[in-house]
Chains A and B, each alone.
Chain A
Amino acid sequence: MIKNYIKIAWRNLKRNKAYAFISVAGLALGITCGILIFTLITYHLSFDNFHKNSDRVYRLYTEWHDDGIGRSHGVPQPLGKTFRNDFTLAEKTARVISFHDNLITITQGNQVKKFKEDNGVAFTEPEYFDILNFPLLKGDKKTVLVKPGEAIVTEKIARKYFGDDNPIGKVIRVDNKVNFTVTGVLKDLPANTDRKQQVYVSYGNMDEYTGSKKREDNWGGVFSGSEVFTLLKPSTTMESANSAMALIVKKHYTGRDLQVWKFKLQPLSDIHFNSDLDGYADKKYLWALFFIGLFLIITACVNFVNLATAQALNRAKEIGVRKVLGSLPHQLFWQFIAETALITFVAVILAIGLSFIALPAINNLFESQMTFKLFQLSVFIMLISVLVVFLSGSYPGLVLARFQPILALKSKLSQKHVGGFSLRRILVVTQFSISQVLIIGAIIIVSQLHYSQTTDLGFNKDAVVLLPIPQQDKAKLSTLRNRINEVQGVEKSSYCYKAPAAQSNNSTDVNFNHRGEDEHWGINTKQGDENFLSTFGMKLVAGRNFFPADTTHEFLVNETFVKKLNLKPQDVIGKMLAIDGKTIKAPIVGVVKDFYNYSFHTEISAICIMPDYRSYSTLAVKINMRNAKTSLAAFEKIWNETFPEELYSYQFLDDSVGKFYEMDNIQLKLVEAFAGIAILIGCLGLYGLVSFMAVRKTKEIGVRKVLGADTMHILWLFGKEFTYLLLIAFVVAAPLAWWAMHNYLQDFKYRITIGPGIFLTSILSTFIIASITVGYRSVMAATANPVKSLRSE
């Protein structure tokens, strides 16, 4: 029996190639998206789940309760040590302090090799490798990193630095400051971990590296790279550990700080998802993806049901004959399920192929290393196949099985016997609602990104080259600037810590005008020389720029600073400002116009700008883009002559600002792709439906033409129908999309408003796409010779 089902299913598909193609293509696209989204979601859910006892592993983090709550995944450096020594709650506790973009130098004979490590170097206590499961391939786990001066690297790094040589015993130099001897090699890190460092060095060398012993006992500041991981004892709860943290605060803080500082534990499983800290994948977005995937599969199924029921009329005769020959309804039902299963099977095979092709592109987009997990994926594919088969096969199956044989044989079946046109209308409306939601979503993301890229940021981000400054040597700095300024095409240059908007920021406490109490908000400090304003094209709203100086004698502040004090810009000029625990005190001499110092996701901070050559890590050069090539070449030459031990690199400011929107761009690309696929599937369905309509209406069209209708009238028969359906779909989709995108935009502090234009664009584009889809078949039907169609009746 099954064989018979399959056989007739196969022949049916061969006979109706267009129908088969549309069904298979639609399902394959839907299932491909399903597979990819499934892979993406399971990939993110698998982050750091391979550690032993991972349910007992926590990271400590800092919270500040002042005006609002601030959080950092970094903690004061002494916290880890105190937690370990003063309490017995944990089996192991390890501090790890990581830096980024470190320069690693390796000297072999006369040959010097330099490497820039984006993921940087981590000063690590040896317990770290007892808590987290990163196994050593070479070296003794009991002794590595215990003594100062040791380093362990991953296999990948070992190969990169030393080729096939044995890395053990080799020396690496970090940032031209400290030498480490490699004593261990780690197995390469799995893709699904947020611990990205590949070079670990002894924690004991921290003071030597930073050049000061102050950090080890400094409870007053937090460096975001300073993290603490702990493996709690099985008997310890998160609550008891959190209350221990309260005791630590009591012991080490005084005055207002007692209320402000809090330390808490974050479960390892939360790290990847918590966007309040440094989580990468907000679960909100994973859910959104899940629903998009589900919607796409539903759209594909809807498509299938649509086509199958339309097709059902053509098969009425076969069904009638089968019934007369003694087939029971359930046999016909299963026959149809078998047919659906065959189509689904072909679609799944295609989808698997497509997924394999698409995965590298997705990995490229996310800069991830996802792979297909064979077992998980095959279970998922099985489930989804069964779901698709029954979701899309059972309705047409039931309809067919219930046919009255006599009516079927006499070709007297009409639309009401196959679920009617209204059912198919509902299905098309569903499909187009889904694609409209996605289209509106894509348009809003595009508009927001366009807005953030074209709005005046308050500073000029074009044609500014950022050169790194590895050493703060006064003489070198002054020579370097003089030589750079002589390069043809250079308009201005400025030494600064970072550009006005940067990923790296320092915040500190504020005391204004000798007030008794510090302000309840922090200030973002931007070190720069007297050319900072002119190089970045920033404007003063009051006062003047500071005079040239190497250290801080005068401050500039921004408008937000003034607003937070509830003052007018003129009022703060000449007043004293003290920051960094009142270690830096100077009068305010000017107020700059507000500029966006973060992305549009974040509010503008209170900012002060002051000269301090020890903080300069960037030379910003405003150039004339017409000479960009020669200028850049000259910069490299001059830079390498100034810092022969360092590795040259440069960045354009607009690229660096663009990095703020990396995630947004990824989201946009995803939504665009999914919207595209939803539209495509929708169009396939629409095409199928209009073909069906054209066949059904052949006689009606013939009669109308004989009665004198012209082509436009006939086309309107089709147009009317689809206009109507699209409008309903739009009415369904618009509020949904508005709600979803309104929530999305809440993530931006500075955002566009969702205006009618966006909705208009969406419906217009859908309209055009639908017209093109419907057009060909409609014109064919409308221009057919009426005599022919009437004679055949």
Chain B
Amino acid sequence: MLSLQHISKYYQVSGLKNFVLNDLSLEIDQGEFVSIMGPSGSGKSSLLNIIGMLDEPSEGYHYFAGHAVHQLKEKQRSALYKQYIGFVFQAYHLIDELTVYENIETPLIYQDFKGAERKAMVADILDRFNIVGKKDLFPAQLSGGQQQLVGIARALIAKPKLLLADEPTGNLNSKQGEEIMELFRKLNKEDGVTIIQVTHSEKNAEYGSRIINLLDGKIESSKQL
């Protein structure tokens, strides 16, 4: 599904290259559930951002669903991204001014779904996530776990093939974390969504099918579970 070849990301500080990712290559197939681990500053988030096209690598080749991402124009990349990728954040990043319903609906608006269609899709996902009763509440009125649930629902609403999660349980207690992980496993197994998550927790990492350990911008180890 996606392939990174010789990817580097660095910042130039007074002539010296400061590498965040250093000549990293990685292949991920459709249907995988990959956990990326590593100490702080090892480049986990940068890697995720590059996969998610939120950031561009300094060097290297990036292929996604048969497209050479490094050659695409901003607009095409945005179209590709909208079609395939959903993002979940550690800090949920819900829009405070919108209700649960509207938060979930927003990606559909940007993808030009018609009103009636949007309504049906949002209703469907609210139902699936069991948050119908909360649809008119604002993010501030929800607990962390509930907010993350909304965040995931929002990421999934447009039926992405790839779900990227940056420490999705980082701000949650262990029980809430477990629920989210169960949900991920289910999505992966039943709906065939490819998932890449960044995590600090060994336990959460083991929900996945592969664990990649990063150190200083390079893949230190990779093991199939």
Contact = CB atoms under 8 A, between A and B. Distances in A.
Name which of A325, A405, A406 has the most chain B CB atoms within 10 A of its CB. A325
Contacts of A4: 102, 106, 109
B78 to A, nearest CB: 6
B93 interface: yes
A317 B93 contact: yes
A383 interface: no
A318 B97 contact: yes
Nearest to B52: A324
A12 B97 contact: yes
Nearest to B105: A4
A327 B55 contact: no
B103 to A, nearest CB: 9
A325 B107 contact: yes
B89 interface: yes
Interface in A390-429: 405-406, 409
Contacts of A7: 102
A1 B108 CA distance: 10
Nearest to B110: A326
Name which of A8, A322, A324, A328 has the most chain B CB atoms within 10 A of its CB. A324
Contacts of A590: none
A409 B55 CA distance: 13
B98 A325 contact: no
B64 to A, nearest CB: 15
Contacts of B97: 8, 11-12, 15, 318
Nearest to A411: B91
A1 B110 CA distance: 8
B154 A326 contact: no
Contacts of A331: 110
B106 A325 contact: yes
Contacts of B82: 326
Nearest to B83: A326
A409 B110 contact: no
Name which of B75, B93, B111 has the most chain A CB atoms within 10 A of its CB. B93
A321 interface: yes
Contacts of B65: none
A8 B95 CA distance: 10
A318 B81 CA distance: 19
Interface string A26-48: 00000000000000000000000
B49 A406 contact: yes
B106 A322 contact: yes
Interface string A1-21: 100100110011001000000
A327 B79 CA distance: 10
A321 B95 contact: yes
B27 interface: no
A565 B81 CA distance: 94
Contact of B95 (A1, A318, A326, A406): A318
Contact of A406 (B55, B102, B154): B55
B96 interface: yes
A482 B29 CA distance: 121
Interface string B101-139: 010001101110000000000000000000000000000
A20 to B, nearest CB: 13
Nearest to A5: B109
A327 B89 contact: no
Contact of B94 (A1, A12, A321): A321
A318 B110 contact: no
B110 A320 contact: no
Contacts of B54: 324, 405-406
Given A317-B93, A321-B94, A321-B95, A326 B55 contact: no
Contacts of A1: 109
Interface in A320-377: 320-322, 324-328, 331
A1 B55 CA distance: 27
A326 B94 contact: no
B184 interface: no
A443 B47 CA distance: 65
Contacts of A317: 93
B47 to A, nearest CB: 13
Interface in B15-67: 49, 54-55
Contacts of B111: 326
Contact of A325 (B49, B55, B91, B154): B154
Nearest to B158: A326
Contacts of B110: 322, 325-328, 331
Contacts of A12: 97
A187 B109 CA distance: 62
Given A8-B97, A331-B110, A409-B93, A324 B78 contact: no
B55 to A, nearest CB: 6
A326 B157 CA distance: 13
Contacts of B107: 325-326
B112 to A, nearest CB: 9
Contact of B98 (A8, A328, A406): A8
Nearest to A4: B109
A324 B87 contact: yes
B89 A409 contact: yes
Contacts of B78: 326, 328
A328 B111 CA distance: 10
Contacts of A318: 95-97
A324 B85 CA distance: 10
Nearest to A405: B54
B174 to A, nearest CB: 25
B83 to A, nearest CB: 9
A413 to B, nearest CB: 14
Nearest to A331: B110
Contacts of A326: 78, 81-82, 107, 110-111, 158
A40 to B, nearest CB: 41
Nearest to A318: B95
Contacts of B49: 406
A15 B139 CA distance: 14
A328 B77 CA distance: 11
Interface string A298-335: 00000000000000000001101110111110010000
B93 A322 contact: no
Contacts of B158: 326
Contacts of B81: 326
A324 B109 contact: no
Contacts of B109: 1, 4
A1 B102 CA distance: 12
Contacts of B95: 8, 318, 321-322
Nearest to B96: A318
B7 to A, nearest CB: 16
Nearest to A11: B97
Interface string B184-196: 0000000000000
A343 to B, nearest CB: 15
A622 to B, nearest CB: 75
B93 A321 contact: yes
A477 to B, nearest CB: 85
A318 B109 CA distance: 15
A621 to B, nearest CB: 75
A321 B96 CA distance: 11
A318 B93 CA distance: 8
Nearest to B92: A321
Nearest to A317: B93
Contacts of B75: 328
A258 to B, nearest CB: 82
A142 B87 CA distance: 88
B79 to A, nearest CB: 9
A598 B94 CA distance: 74
19 contacts: A4-B109, A8-B98, A11-B98, A12-B97, A15-B97, A318-B97, A322-B110, A324-B54, A324-B93, A325-B87, A325-B106, A326-B78, A326-B111, A326-B158, A327-B110, A328-B75, A328-B110, A406-B49, A409-B93
* 5 cross-chain pairs, A with B, having the tightest CB-CB distances, nearest first: A326-B82, A326-B110, A11-B97, A325-B107, A321-B93
Given A12-B97, A331-B110, 11 more contacts: A1-B109, A4-B106, A7-B102, A11-B97, A15-B97, A318-B96, A321-B95, A324-B93, A326-B81, A328-B78, A406-B54
